[in-house]
Amino acid sequence: MAKKTIRDIEVAGKRVLVRVDFNVPLDKNGKVTDDTRIREALPTIRYLTGQGAKVILISHLGRPKGRVDDKYAMDPVAARLSELLGTQVKKIDDCVGEVPREAIEKMQQGDVILLENVRFYQEEEKNDEKFARRLAALADVFVNDAFGTAHRAHASTEGVAEFLPAVAGFLMEKELNHLGKLLENPARPFAAILGGAKVSDKIAVVSNLLGKVDTLIIGGGMANTFLRAQGNDVGKSLLEADKVDLARGLLNEARAKGVNLLLPVDVVAAPAAAPDAQPKTVPVGQIPAEWMALDIGEKSVDLFAGSLKRAKTVVWNGPMGVFEMAPFAAGTLAIARVLAGLDATTLVGGGDTVSAVKQAGVAGRITHISTGGGASLEFLEGKQLPGVESLLDK
């Protein structure tokens, strides 16, 4: 990775502002239900405290839309982080101004505090320069360890780096190394699996990957548009009719480049996406007129699994169907288990896909689970990420 990290700078005795991604799910009692993102930040926090830094953490939580909303206050996160670190992490009731400044003045080397939700300010998402200056005034050094927000040009991800020396934390470094190798020098054969609802969400990813992969597997709702491009009737399935010509063009491009592009050959269909649905599996060209495709069938799983057997690198983003509902979960969970059984470097990104891997009980057998859904997608598109570009080069 060509960016400086916390190993490359002196932090002892310094105030270090660390952008983390603590946007974690909470239950109705305000308790953290999945602390994965907090755990992922621990190596960076422990390194900095071990080096004698004063660690000032800043994150967003939920979508408070630029105003104070107690539902999205950082208190539950501070409580869980304290448990994981085994030391008291004080939560500060603001993220700029006198309140955090006074708290920081009292910090000792090795202390950790957590500032209030940065998205309580509209200026955050606007990347307001004055607001970024106010954040920067709290610290001597900036560390970005929030890969999940690296594709956002916000005050706490990009703006603050204009006013402080800015380097990557260990999680950011890990994400960039895994994803960078994927695009620059993957072990071959290299396969990509794309799912999710819409082709329009992943057009740029498909286009970029067609120049890099040996096999491209497409499932989920977005497959319907490709199936329609091949002349199949898809019933009432999710379909982007205005993208059919585009899908046809991508199919032709794959053929021209010698990429093995695979689509489902059978689907699990039902009249509606409902938890109590009585689905049936049908070939792709035989979906009943009033029914919709909601998962891939067993023959599709076998086809996809067979094409992945020889793969040495596999990246997966997007589920194969409406896996949140039991009648339509089998295809996605089967693909998760296929990945876990491969003798290959496997990378999974995107919130739903990560959930599926955990649900299948195979998360521990995936090489790398990315903490950034949108960020990993934009990286795979070949885009520059503002939160990465703003860091110091090595």
pLDDT at 50: 98
Q: Does the active-site annotation cover 374?
A: yes
Give the pLDDT mean for 378-384: 82
Report the CATH number at residue 94. Answer: 3.40.50.1260
Q: Which residues pair with 347 in a beta bridge?
A: 315, 368
Query: Which of 306, 351, 361, 394 is an active site residue?
Result: 351
Respond yes or no: is residue 351 known to be catalytic. Answer: yes
Strands 280-283, 266-270: pairing is antiparallel
CA distance from start to end of the chain = 8
Q: Which two tokens stand for residue 29?
A: 């009692």
16-25, 27-36, 127-136, 334-343: least confident range: 27-36
| Radius of gyration, alpha carbons of the chain | 23
Same domain, 47 and 113: yes
Asked whether residue 264 is assigned to any structural domain, the reply reads yes
For residues 291 and 234, membership in a common domain is answered with yes
* Domain boundary residue, one of 171, 197, 228: 171
Whether residues 228 and 140 fall in one domain: no
Residues 209 and 285 in one domain: yes
Residues in the chain: 394
Q: Are residues 304 and 188 in the same domain?
A: yes
The answer to whether residues 264 and 376 belong to one domain is: yes
pLDDT computed for residue 1 by the predictor: 58
DSSP 302-368: HHHHHHHTT-SEEEEES-SS-TTSGGG-HHHHHHHHHHHTSSSEEEEESHHHHHHHHHTT-GGGSSE
pLDDT tens profile 280-325: 999 998 999 999 999 999 999 999 999 999 999 999 999 999 999 9
Same domain, 150 and 287: no
Q: Are 99 and 231 contained in the same domain? A: no
- 137, 152, 171 - which closes a domain: 171
107: alpha, beta or left? (left if phi > 0; alpha if psi -120 to 50): beta
Q: What is the total count of domains within the chain?
A: 2
97 catalytic residue (yes or no): no
Task: Mark whether 157 and 47 lie in a shared domain.
Answer: yes
* Whether residues 317 and 366 fall in one domain: yes
Q: Is the pLDDT of residue 251 over 70?
A: yes
Tell me which of 37, 119, 202, 212 is the catalytic residue: 37
Q: Return mean pLDDT, the chain.
A: 94
Q: Which of 101, 374, 382, 383 is catalytic?
A: 374
Find, among 8, 105, 111, the residue nearest to 50 by Cα: 111
DSSP conformational letter for 47: H
For residue 130, the enclosing domain spans 6-171
- Looking at the fold, whether 190 and 165 belong to one and the same domain comes out as no
* Cα three-residue angle 96-25-71, rounded to 5 degrees: 50
